[in-house]
Structure 1
Amino acid sequence: MGYRIVWSGALALVTYSVITNVAFAGGIERGGYDIDRLFDTSRYVIDGGVTYVMPDRKLKNVKDVNPKNGNLNLTRPNTADETSGYAVPYFSAKIGITDDVDCMFDYSEPFGAHSDPGLNWAGANYDVEQKIRTHNYGATCSYKFDAGPGQIRLIGGGFFQEVTGYKEQLVTTLPASLSSRYDGTGTLNVSDQGWGWRAGAAYEIPEYAFRTSLVYNSQVKYDNLSGTVDLTQVPHIAGIPALSNPALGVVTPVYGSATAPDSIELKLQTGIAPDWLAFGSVKWTNWSVLQSVSFCPKSTRGKVACKPGSAVELTSLDLLYRDGWTINGGIGHKFNDQWSGAVSLTWDEGTSQGYGMQTDVWTLGVGVSYAPTQHVEFTLAGALGILTSGKSGTVVSNGVTYGDEATYSFGNDLVAAVSTSMKVKF
Structure 2
Amino acid sequence: MKKTLISKGILALAAGCAMASTALAGGLERGGYNIDLLFDEGRFAAESAVTFVAPQRELKNVRDTDPSLFDPLDLTSTTAPPSPTFGGGDLTGRPTTADGSENYWVPRIGAKAAIGPDFDCMVDYSEPWGAHKNPGANWAGANEDIETKVESRNYAGTCSYKFDVGPGQLRLIGGAFYQEVYGFQERLVQNTQGLPAALGGGLSGVGRLDLEADGWGWRAGVAYEIPEYALRVSLVYNSEVKLDNITGTLDLSQVTPLLPAPINVHGSQDMPDVVELKLQSGIAPDWLAFGSVKWADWSQLQKVRFYCNAVGNPLCSPTNAVTSLDLGYRDGWTVTGGVGHKFTEQWSGAVSVTWDRGTSQGFGTQTDTWTLGLGAAYSPTENVEFRLAGALALLTGGSSSLQTINGETYGQRASYDFDDDLAYGVSTSVKVRF
TM-score (norm 2): 0.90
Question: Residues 19-47 of structure 1, C-alpha deviation per residue, up to 9 Å, x if partnerless?
Answer: 33331231111000000010000011111
Give matches, 1:154-303, under 5 Å.
154-176=172-194, 181-236=202-257, 246=258, 248-299=259-310
Letter in 1 for 2:402: T
Matches within 5 A, 1:34-113: 34-68=34-68, 69-74=88-93, 76-113=94-131
> SS at the partner of 2:92?
helix
**Cα contact 1:13–1:36 (8 A) shared by 2:** no
Structure 2: which amino acid aligns with 1:209?
A: A
Q: 2:334 aligns with which of 326, 335, 341?
A: 326
* Distance (whole Å) between structure 2 residues aligned to residue 22 and residue 262 of structure 1: 18
Shift of 1:6: 5.9
Q: How far apart, CA to CA, are the structure 1 residues paired with 2:230 and 2:278?
A: 13
In 2, Cα distance between equivalents of 1:262 and 1:400: 23
Q: How many Å apart are 1:18 and its aligned residue?
A: 4.3
1:134 alignment partner in structure 2: 152
* Aligned CA distance change for structure 1 residues 31 and 385 (closer, same or farther; 3 Å): same
Is the contact between residue 6 and residue 207 of structure 1 (CA under 8 Å) also seen in structure 2? Answer: no
The answer for the alignment partner of 2:15 in structure 1 is 19
Matched position secondary structure for 1:358: coil
Letter in structure 1 aligned against 2:246: L
Q: Distance in 2 between matches of 1:31 and 1:295?
A: 27
CA shift for structure 1 position 250: 2.4
Pairs aligned (count): 404
Paired letter, 2:305: S
CA contact (8 A) 2:127 2:152 kept: yes
Please, what is the CA RMSD of the aligned residues?
1.7
The match for 1:381 is: 389
The question of whether the paired residues in 2 share the 8 Å contact of 1:355 and 1:391 is answered with yes
Map Cα deviations across residues 50-74 of structure 1 (whole Å, 9 max, x no partner): 0000000000110001111321112
Name the SS of the counterpart of 2:380 in structure 1: coil
Aligned residue in 1 for 2:357: 349
Q: Report the alpha carbon displacement of residue 234 of structure 1 after superposing the two structures with TM.
A: 1.4
Q: In terms of mean alpha carbon deviation, does 395-404 or 320-329 score higher?
A: 395-404
Please give the alpha-carbon distance, in whole angstroms, between the structure 1 residues aligned to 2:270 and 2:362.
22
Aligned-partner Cα distance in 1 for 2:176–2:119: 16
TM-score by length of 1: 0.92
Distance 1:22 1:10, change over 3 A: farther
Q: Is the 8 A contact 2:63 2:414 kept in 1?
A: yes
Question: How far does residue 180 in structure 1 lie from its aligned partner after superposition?
Answer: 8.3
Q: Distance in 1 between matches of 2:172 and 2:143?
A: 50
Q: Secondary structure at the match of 1:73?
A: coil
Q: State whether residues 22 and 382 of structure 1, in contact with CA within 8 Å, keep that contact through their aligned partners in structure 2.
A: no
Does the CA-based 8 Å contact 1:110-1:134 persist in structure 2? yes
The answer to whether residue 144 in structure 2 is matched with residue 115 in structure 1 is: no
1:46 match: secondary structure: strand
Deviations 1:373-426 (A, max 9, x none): 222111000000011011111112343322110001111000000000111111
Q: Which runs of 5+ in 2 are unaligned?
A: 69-87
